Amino acid sequence: MTPPDTRTQLLDAAEHLFAERGFHGASIRAITDLAGANLAAVGYHFGSKAQLLTAVVLRVVEPINAAQSAGLDKLLARTPDPEVTELVEAFAGPLFDEMATADEGGARKSRLIMRILGDPAEEMREWPGPAEDTVRDRYLAAFAHALPALSANELWFRIRGILAVAAVDRVDVHNGQPPPGRSSAAARRWAITFLTAAMSAPPTGT
Amino acid sequence: MTPPDTRTQLLDAAEHLFAERGFHGASIRAITDLAGANLAAVGYHFGSKAQLLTAVVLRVVEPINAAQSAGLDKLLARTPDPEVTELVEAFAGPLFDEMATADEGGARKSRLIMRILGDPAEEMREWPGPAEDTVRDRYLAAFAHALPALSANELWFRIRGILAVAAVDRVDVHNGQPPPGRSSAAARRWAITFLTAAMSAPPTGT
DNA sequence: GTCTATAGAACGATAGAC
DNA sequence: GTCTATCGTTCTATAGAC
């Protein structure tokens, strides 16, 4: 049980506070205080507050991408024509798994991702993010194959719907507490049901 | 064509900047500059930056609530047992209508709502919001009646899914531009298809 | 109702001792 | 790698003239 190093403590504290208050709302002072580190530590370890943010985001996003990618590999190794529900499970499942660390860490990540999704400019834009684009493109192709009647635009709309439902999960609409009677395991299953039906809907008629 | 008064110009500018940069990222200076008003104008007209935010949010949310409420009234006046697709249309439709002012005003409101959804504490919490709670409860009852097999918790999960899909609409995942080939009219119809199928899914088995 | 001017606090970043 | 000290900037809020 070696104690976490300062760098990790800073990442933890920053993940918490960026999710809770946003980038501008979380000061370096608040982050270093929560991390039990010195004010100058952010500059030393990450260079700037903005670079700390990208490090935090990468740490949250990378395992999700890896799990999504591995899930698709596994699916395609078994059959060239996966079911819609299998694709939904492989794509949306990791979003819930990674955000379901029992404690409030899941809701925190969920909020962080929502903030990034909704942020058009914030110091977020320089973030590389080629990995998740690749993963998304691969799922786009797989869904297009499973749902050949759907136009590319409507398919894209639906995939963004998956992201939306997953991102908003565990973020309460009106206050900080999760809705009553929610366990993340149940939410995960509800989401698969909800999203499989949604993805499988026939194309919208003109 | 009377020119808008300072108060309205401040609300417009604040709506823009809060959506674009978040509450902490939008300074009073930036807001008053964009509004063509004086730095002291926010204090005079709204008392504080936080109260300006609640005024902005109320102005965005109120017409949506009113349209949702009127839509449900109209539906229930016609039949005591509306279809799921009609309920989805009445609930989700106004979210798209109010956010579809052709120009980028829609995306702006969409982003603002996303920020509020994802914000557990921000100066948002004191906001009264009894109206939208009432509307949501009425739809909850109507959906429960149309989908009697669904548990209250799973139904609640699904209604939040509607909000998620609507809120994320027109917010691009990775940069400020809307996805290719999107018109808000098409997005509205795609969403009704997507969400009707999702709401109509059978309950998740245990 | 609009302006100038400023108080008072918090901010990000960094230089330099240890 | 960690600390103190501080620079220069920006922030919200408000007092008071017009």
Residue A34 in any domain: the answer is no
Is A178 strand, coil or helix?
Answer: coil
- Best A125, A153, A170 residue to mutate vs chain B (most B CBs within 10 Å): A153
Instruction: Give domain status of residue B44, yes or no.
Output: no
- Count: domains in chain B: 1
**Tens-digit pLDDT profile for residues A15-68:** 999 999 999 999 999 999 999 999 999 999 999 999 999 999 999 999 999 999
Residue A4 included in any domain: no
B117 interaction partners in chain A (CB closer than 8 Å): 114, 168, 171, 173
pTM: 0.92
Confidence at A206, pLDDT banded by 50, 70, 90: confident
Q: What is the pLDDT of residue B104?
A: 64
Asked, for residue B143, whether it belongs to a domain, the answer is: yes
In 3-state terms, what secondary structure has residue A193? helix
Chain mean pLDDT for chain A:
88
Cβ distance of B190 and A157 shorter than 8 Å:
yes
User: What's A102's domain CATH number?
Assistant: 1.10.357
Q: Is B197 at the interface with chain A, CB within 8 A?
A: yes
What integer pLDDT is reported at residue B24 of this predicted model? 96
- A38/C17 CA-to-C1' distance in Å: 15
pLDDT of residue A176: 43
Mean pLDDT, rounded, for B72-96: 97
Chain D positions with an atom below 7 A of a protein C-beta are: 1-6, 10-16
- Evaluate whether residue B49 is within a structural domain: no
Q: What is the pLDDT of residue B159?
A: 96
Q: Is the pLDDT of residue B170 over 90?
A: no
B178 and A CB contact within 8 Å: no
Q: What is the DSSP string of chain B?
A: -PPPPHHHHHHHHHHHHHHHHHHHHS-HHHHHHHHT--TTHHHHHHSSHHHHHHHHHHHHHHHHHHHHHHHHHHHHHH-SS--HHHHHHHHHHHHHHTT--SSTHHHHHHHHHHHHHT-SSTTTTT---HHHHHHHHHHHHHHHHH-TTS-HHHHHHHHHHHHHHHHHTT--SSSSSPPTT--HHHHHHHHHHHHHHHHHSPPPP-
**Can you give the residue range of the structural domain that contains A88?**
59-200
What is the predicted pLDDT for the residue at B128? 58
Whether the Cβ atoms of residue B41 and residue B10 lie closer than 8 Å to each other = yes
Whether A7 is in a domain gets the answer no
CB contact B40 to A (< 8 Å): no
Question: Tokens 């993940």 appear where?
Answer: A15
pLDDT for A181 equals 47
A168-185 tens-digit pLDDT: 877 765 544 455 545 678
Residue A71 counted as domain residue: yes
Query: pLDDT digit string (tens) for B100-112?
Result: 555 566 778 888 9
End-to-end CA distance of chain A: 61
Whether A53 is covered by a domain: the verdict is no
User: Does residue B192 register a pLDDT over 50?
Assistant: yes
